Structure 1
Amino acid sequence: MTQTLNLGRIVRLSLLSFGALVFLAPYIFMISAAGKAQADIFASSLSLVPQQWYYVENIQKAMSRVDIPTLLWNGVVVCGIILIIQVMVAVPCAYAMAKLQFRGSRFMMALVMLGLLVPIHATALPLYVAFDTLSMLNSYAALVAPFSISVFAIFLFLQFFRALPDDLIHAARLDGMSELGVVARVILPNAWPAVTAFAIFSVVAHWNDLFWPLIVVTNSDYATPPLGLLFFRAAEAGDDYGALMAATLIITLPLVLAFLMAQKRFVEGIAMTGLKG
């Protein structure tokens, strides 16, 4: 019996390790290419270890040809503002739908579910026309406004709030708290696992988003990281892949570090919201 369990564990670990290697393979190749000279990248033999280390040279090229600090700052500003507004809007909405009894709650839930089915591509044209009419293109507002309300956040927090005990909310009301006070002082402090889980989804999605910034931004001063890489390729005619991989490595590194620091909360939030795979 013990041998069977050990064999099953070995098989599971082997499959998980293989799957992790498959998903990490592009990132490993990017790290390898970021440290190679142009001739090594297109060599006939594939080697992950650079024959000559060109990390410093490629990073210097990337930093000199594209304003990477500005790209990173724009990414932080846009993702941070979007996340803060999304949480401020989604938490009260989800609390009302989960814990308050009112007419139309089922209809609102149906609207939330329908909202999950509408992609940004379907509304891109009217949003672009509206921002152009208001002369708001090439601005943080144009990058942030379409994503300020997240129906996915409302749905995620709704599942989490339903699991919170009603006695906790009743006790807060007996202490004289208003509904906004309950949300700010009771619900939100207990919702940090769900907020952290959603923060990972939100930041990754908007940090890597190229579709919408490509539409509303033509000024490099407001370019987000993926759009900045596109400007880099345009400036380099797509032939300096070592520097391009170095720029990509710099831009993706903050996401990797953020996920590693928040992975415990992320897994806890997913488990507690009932969104189990």
Structure 2
Amino acid sequence: MKRPSILFRSFRHLVLMTGAAIFLAPFIWMVLTSLKPADEIFTREFSLLPSRLALVENYTQALTKVPLLRYLWNGVVVCAAILILQIVVALPAAYAFAKLDFRGKTWAWRLVLLALMIPHQATAIPIYVMLHHLGLLNTLSALIVPFIISAFGIFLMRQFFRTVPDDLIHAARLDGMNELELVWRVMLPTAIPALFAFSIFSVVWHWNDYFWPLLVIASPELATPPLGTMFFRNEEAGTNYGPLMAGTVLITAPLVLFFIAAQKRFIEGVTLTGVKA
């Protein structure tokens, strides 16, 4: 293949760098604002870099004015519980859709695809009423139970399982494994890249979810990180943006670190799940 010209490569890199700068600009502004004192944030003169660092002051207030560590812990508990339960449900379901033949399989798969097209907000009121009757409102269970079944997780894992050779499954059956053993002892280890990809999608979605916690949580001590930011802003009356941005940096940092750590597996998983239709 002919190598692209240096002009084309330079143009391509320029476009990519411009796009990266546009996407990174809000995050850079957030971090730099978290380092500024209040008088520099509201000055009329534009200044990207702070002339006086207020790092200790802003981050100390972010951690002490509201229970930010509690909000972060709630987010970890909720995201971890949702992810584990989603995997427990999605893996056997995806294996059944990918490798087993059963009555009504086509229509069941169509229902999964239909569920992918229904926004969560459309079912929020019925789920809210159901949780009310179960007495689960204003509990961490209200943040976890509605998301145990993930249509996207079933779809993603099913696409990956279709790339697994049938000979591997037949060999496991000859060794005496039943279907559940086959899922957890054979299919699970092969699905690690897809699981990393799904984990990032799931954790990012539920860590950043603001709509559902706002609907079902009333106690500040049960708030997740985005909802905790609202409580922080209310307590600060919306004027002290330095600590507010510092709190936002602390809330965003775990997601960034998580993605950087799993970036290679994420790309591999997304690539492999698209091999077979």
CA RMSD in angstroms, aligned pairs only: 1.5
Check if 1:215 corresponds to 2:215: yes
Query: Which stretch shows the higher mean deviation, 34-43 or 262-271?
Result: 34-43
- Per-residue deviation, 1:35: 0.4
The C-alpha deviation readout for 1:172-215, integer Å capped at 9, x for no partner, is 00111000011011000000000000000000000000000001
Counterparts in 2 of 1:4 and 1:133: CA distance versus 1, 3 Å: closer
Query: Which stretch shows the higher mean deviation, 43-52 or 66-75?
Result: 43-52
- Which ranges in structure 1 are unaligned for 5 or more consecutive residues? none
Please name the residue that 1:54 is paired with: 54
Q: TM-score, normalised by structure 2?
A: 0.97
The C-alpha deviation readout for 1:99-154, integer Å capped at 9, x for no partner, is 00112111111001100011111111121122122221111110001111000000
Please name the residue that 2:228 is paired with: 228
Query: Which stretch shows the higher mean deviation, 83-92 or 40-49?
Result: 40-49
In the alignment, the residues of structure 1 paired with residue 246 and residue 92 of structure 2 have an alpha-carbon distance, to the nearest angstrom, of: 42
In the alignment, the residues of structure 2 paired with residue 275 and residue 166 of structure 1 have an alpha-carbon distance, to the nearest angstrom, of: 15
- Per-residue deviation, 1:2: 7.9
- Per-residue deviation, 1:275: 7.8
Please name the residue that 2:88 is paired with: 88
Q: TM-score, normalised by structure 1?
A: 0.97
Percent identity of paired positions between Structure 1 and Structure 2: 54
Whether the 8 Å CA contact 2:116–2:152 is kept in 1: the answer is: yes
In the alignment, the residues of structure 1 paired with residue 114 and residue 3 of structure 2 have an alpha-carbon distance, to the nearest angstrom, of: 50
In the alignment, the residues of structure 1 paired with residue 59 and residue 212 of structure 2 have an alpha-carbon distance, to the nearest angstrom, of: 27
In the alignment, the residues of structure 2 paired with residue 208 and residue 125 of structure 1 have an alpha-carbon distance, to the nearest angstrom, of: 20
The C-alpha deviation readout for 1:24-77, integer Å capped at 9, x for no partner, is 100000001000011111222222211100011001111111101101100000
Aligned residue for 2:117, secondary structure, equals coil
Query: Which stretch shows the higher mean deviation, 267-276 or 60-69?
Result: 267-276
In the alignment, the residues of structure 2 paired with residue 148 and residue 37 of structure 1 have an alpha-carbon distance, to the nearest angstrom, of: 43
Please name the residue that 2:114 is paired with: 114
Aligned residue for 2:138, secondary structure, equals coil
Counterparts in 2 of 1:175 and 1:143: CA distance versus 1, 3 Å: same
Please name the residue that 1:180 is paired with: 180
Query: Which stretch shows the higher mean deviation, 39-48 or 104-113?
Result: 39-48
